[in-house]
Amino acid sequence: MINIVSEISFLVNPEESKSQPIAFVETPQSIAELMVSLVDLKGKEKTKISVLDAGCGRGMFLRVLAGAGYENVAGVEFDELMAEKCQKEFNQYSVSNKNFLNWDSETGYDLIIGNPPYAHYNSLPSKIQKEVREIVQSKESDIYYAFIIKAIDFLKENGELIFIVPYGFFYNTFAKSVREKIISEGFINLI
């Protein structure tokens, strides 16, 4: 099941990020709490659910997940300083300083949650452009398309993906292949 939260405003705080040109956008706590409240993994205890925060930034989802009683949580963050901060603050969780687009996991996840980065293909560094192109199979894309595809591939059967996406995702011609993957791999529960 895929929950998609659309059209939410954020504060951009790029000063804390070393990984330019992709600006860091912090998810407000109230939005993270709303997204965690959408989890609908019937029959599974929170303490047993495997969770991945894909692009954990400063750890807002990790903070909300910890407060909600989730124990089996991992995070992936490209920015070294943010990954270190999250690992120190949430030492009960495993936080990797990796690029989610080429990161590989030996396990699948019951729940993948987050606020993926947004940056059009043409504004990305060439190395990340190559990774996005390989995942999305298109130069006409946004980095968050690649995050969605990658996250779907990491979901366990009957798992949930809860991401914030811009409204344009639902009508943008270049997102069609990603929408088709969502439809073929599962179903959308909430927009």
- In whole numbers, what is the pLDDT of the chain averaged over residues? 85
If pLDDT is split at 50, 70 and 90, which confidence band does 25 have?
confident
Q: How confident is the model at residue 170 (pLDDT cuts 50, 70, 90)?
A: confident
How far apart, in whole angstroms, are the C-alpha atoms of residue 112 and residue 151? 7
**β-strand partners of 3:** 162, 190
Could you tell me if residue 57 is inside a domain?
yes
Both structure tokens of 13: 């705080």
Q: Rounded to a whole number, what is the distance in angstroms from the first to the last CA of the chain?
A: 12
Residue with tokens 């989890």: 39
pLDDT tens digits for range 128-166 = 999 999 988 887 888 998 999 899 999 999 899 999 988
Q: What is the CA radius of gyration of the chain?
A: 15
With a pLDDT cut of 90, the percent of the chain lying above it is 52
Instruction: Give the tens place of pLDDT for each residue, 52-80.
Output: 999 999 999 999 999 999 999 999 999 99
Within a domain: 80:
yes
134/149 Cα distance (integer angstroms): 11
The C-alpha atoms of residue 78 and residue 188 are separated, in whole angstroms, by: 28
Domain count, the chain: 1
Range of the domain at 88: 2-9+32-38+45-190
Phi, psi of 71 (to 5 degrees): -115, -30
Residue 158 belongs to some domain of the structure: yes
CATH number at residue 133: 3.40.50.150
In a domain, 59, yes or no: yes
In a domain, 23, yes or no: no
pLDDT of 186 > 90? The answer is no
